[in-house]
Structure 1
Amino acid sequence: MSSESPITAPPAGSPACPPVLLIWFNRPDLAIQILDRVRLARPTRLYIAVDGARDPEGHPRDVELTRRCKELAASVDWPCEVRTRFSGVNQGCGRGPSNAITWFFSQEDHGIILEDDCLPDPSFFPFCAELLARHADHEDVMHINGNNFAPENPETIYEGYSYGFARYAQAWGWASWARAWKHFDYEVSGIQEDSPEVFATAGLDRFRQQAHRERVLSTLGEHHHDVWDYQWQYCVLRRGGLCISPAVNLISNLGFGEDATHTKDPTCNVACASTGSMKFPLKQPPERRESPAINRLYADKMLGDASRYRKKAIKRWIRGILGIKKAAKS
């Protein structure tokens, strides 16, 4: 279900809304909903990127739909500097968003990124504003998640704090800094040579992160670079970065359906998840360290059930043992 929290303005006394980047393509009905939430936050600088239409023979509605998305830029009705990046060609859902984010961070040192299907709770904006400022100089913190998949037991997972730290960068509404994005490499140069030691996390989670490396390789090799968030996630993992995760789910992804590129199953258990409102002042965790419980929450939802990685790890271990024995006999 969609957001259940009341639609109210950010709390009084909250920091000014950071610059916001909106990434749109051909879903103006969703884009309008996202813009309405941004209107509540009233950023003074708003960036809007719209990708170009695809081949009209295969996608005859794209020209009209992208035109409607571009026209939304003129509906910004609060004091705000609006900057647009309207592509004349279709860059795809890999290059399009990543090029837009690079454009954004070439002009801002921090900010919020929302794609057209990521509906934020109003409290998402002051949450990001406060933590972008608080962790601006903490190089190890690279990403602020808005989505936490609405777990059933957040009090246990987050130990009563307003947020925690994990290794997984979730891209359904997020914030970051130019200092972190500068490490993004769309081609993931050097991934073939990366050894298991590239991952700082120990235990089962290490194997899941290795599996993510394999997924990135598979995606880049077989699916024509139709993603960008796999590469960003790998960048964060490779650098041992920390990702802030809110104890309240602040983003609902409305984009599940047949017209989506990747999220086609509307019955998926993370589709249109309920959101809540973050309470202020924030309860700060006492130190910056990854939480195994939050790691598990994100890894289970993003990379799949832990049991499959246990099986893979055991099989890899057995093959390694057998390989050593065979080598000893020869």
Structure 2
Amino acid sequence: MRTPVAFLIFNRPDTTKRVFEAIRQAKPFKLLVIADGPRKDKPDDEKKCADARAIIDRVDWDCQVLTNYSDSNLGCRRRVSSGLDWVFSQVEEAIILEDDCLPHPTFFRFCEELLDYYRDEEKVWHIAGTNLTPISDLKSSFLFSRLVPIWGWATWKRAWQHYDIEMKLWSKYKHSEDLQYFGSQQQNVYQVFEDNYHSLVDTWDGQWAFSCVAHQSLSIIPKTNLVMNIGFRSDATHTKGKSKFAYIPVRGLDFPLVKPLNMIPNQEFDEKFLSFLNDSEFSLVSKIKQFIRKTVL
């Protein structure tokens, strides 16, 4: 596979190994690995982080491996954002996987083909691997959306350059009529962005979602769910315990891909997806954290 893969790891060698094996099957010619450092108050972290990094040494195919490892713990917000800044200082486009996002084999081809096809389409910023609420009668292989799922995704340097961890546009955007697009979920979307703006959660992806939404860009959502989250457990940073979002089955796509007839966001899907995220077993605070960190806006 000619498309570079960015792999974000931390302190879970077992999930890291499973996702690494999926990457190994795809055999990318370039692998860029981002790792956070051990936490000072967690004595086991040093060994766990080392064990996770050792898995990268198992690359046994023709592959250029680049690493960006932090000696200290930066946390999700600073480590992922700085790591992806580094990735896009090295390459023009990439497929991005975290250590708990296990992809179906067709995920890689899906991303690679669409990265190539929409490379010069300025309106498209994000290619997602996650679809938690598939539309059964969808005729095309994917749809366009205003949402930004990050359980396995891909993008271009041209889009990532707009990422702003401080969300400087929020103070103006939150008064715009564009939020009305999200219909009955408008207040939930507002609250997620407001909490991100005030750094109430140590996260990076709410800021990416906001950058995409504020610029009215389009995301691509596959017809089927292509990535399973295997990270919901007690040692997770944010996704602790049981959840309806965990271990959602994956199903591969058929090729050649069938493209939508037009490049218009599917508002029905977006409201359905957001409703699914918010109709959960979690309290409001937990939902916001879950929503921001690991599912998306």
Scaled by the length of structure 2, what TM-score is found? Answer: 0.89
Structure 1 contact 150–275 (Cα < 8 Å) conserved: no
* Selected match of 2:267 from 283, 289, 292: 292
Matched, 1:226 2:202: yes
Q: Residues 123, 29 of structure 1: CA spacing in aligned structure 2 closer, same or farther, 3 A cutoff?
A: same
Q: Secondary structure at the match of 2:211?
A: helix
* Selected match of 2:224 from 248, 254, 259: 248
Structure 2 contact 196–207 (Cα < 8 Å) conserved: no
Q: Residues 52, 112 of structure 1: CA spacing in aligned structure 2 closer, same or farther, 3 A cutoff?
A: same
Residue of structure 1 equivalent to 2:25: 40
Q: Residues 38, 150 of structure 1: CA spacing in aligned structure 2 closer, same or farther, 3 A cutoff?
A: farther
What displacement does 1:197 show?
A: 2.0
Q: Secondary structure at the match of 2:176?
A: helix
In 1: Cα distance, 2:95 partner to 2:15 partner = 18
In 2: Cα distance, 1:231 partner to 1:303 partner = 19
Structure 1 contact 21–47 (Cα < 8 Å) conserved: yes
Matched, 1:121 2:98: no
Residue of structure 2 equivalent to 1:212: 189
Structure 2 contact 4–31 (Cα < 8 Å) conserved: yes
Segments of 5+ residues of structure 1 without an aligned counterpart are 1-15, 306-330
In 1: Cα distance, 2:276 partner to 2:167 partner = 23
In 1: Cα distance, 2:72 partner to 2:89 partner = 21
In 1: Cα distance, 2:94 partner to 2:24 partner = 16
Q: Which amino acid aligns with 1:193?
A: K
Q: Residues 222, 110 of structure 1: CA spacing in aligned structure 2 closer, same or farther, 3 A cutoff?
A: closer
* Selected match of 2:86 from 92, 103, 117: 103
Q: Secondary structure at the match of 1:186?
A: coil
Q: Which amino acid aligns with 2:29?
A: T
* Structure whose alpha-carbon radius of gyration is higher: 1
Structure 1 contact 117–255 (Cα < 8 Å) conserved: yes
Residue of structure 2 equivalent to 1:257: 233
Matched, 1:82 2:65: yes
Residue of structure 2 equivalent to 1:177: 156
Residue of structure 2 equivalent to 1:238: 214
In 2: Cα distance, 1:302 partner to 1:139 partner = 28
Residue of structure 2 equivalent to 1:144: 127
Matched, 1:188 2:170: no
What displacement does 1:69 show?
A: 1.4
Q: Secondary structure at the match of 1:143?
A: strand
* Selected match of 2:15 from 30, 33, 42: 30
Q: Which amino acid aligns with 2:19?
A: I
Matched, 1:271 2:246: yes
Tell me the C-alpha RMSD between the 2 structures: 1.7
What displacement does 1:269 show?
A: 1.4
In 2: Cα distance, 1:17 partner to 1:279 partner = 20
* Selected match of 1:282 from 239, 257, 261: 257
In 1: Cα distance, 2:34 partner to 2:144 partner = 30
Q: Residues 197, 217 of structure 1: CA spacing in aligned structure 2 closer, same or farther, 3 A cutoff?
A: closer
In 1: Cα distance, 2:25 partner to 2:273 partner = 29
What displacement does 1:195 show?
A: 4.0
Structure 1 contact 209–237 (Cα < 8 Å) conserved: no
Tell me the alpha carbon deviations over residues 41-69 of structure 1, each in whole angstroms, 9 at most, x when there is no partner. Answer: 110000011111111xx211100011111
Matched, 1:155 2:136: yes
Q: Which amino acid aligns with 1:47?
A: L
Q: Which amino acid aligns with 2:211?
A: C
Q: Secondary structure at the match of 1:98?
A: helix
* Selected match of 2:50 from 67, 70, 93: 67
In 2: Cα distance, 1:297 partner to 1:101 partner = 30
Q: Residues 61, 164 of structure 1: CA spacing in aligned structure 2 closer, same or farther, 3 A cutoff?
A: same
Q: Which amino acid aligns with 1:93?
A: C
Structure 1 contact 46–83 (Cα < 8 Å) conserved: yes
Residue of structure 2 equivalent to 1:316: none
Structure 2 contact 169–214 (Cα < 8 Å) conserved: no
In 1: Cα distance, 2:199 partner to 2:80 partner = 20
In 1: Cα distance, 2:260 partner to 2:176 partner = 28
Structure 1 contact 213–234 (Cα < 8 Å) conserved: no
Residue of structure 2 equivalent to 1:12: none
What displacement does 1:239 show?
A: 0.5
Structure 1 contact 21–112 (Cα < 8 Å) conserved: yes
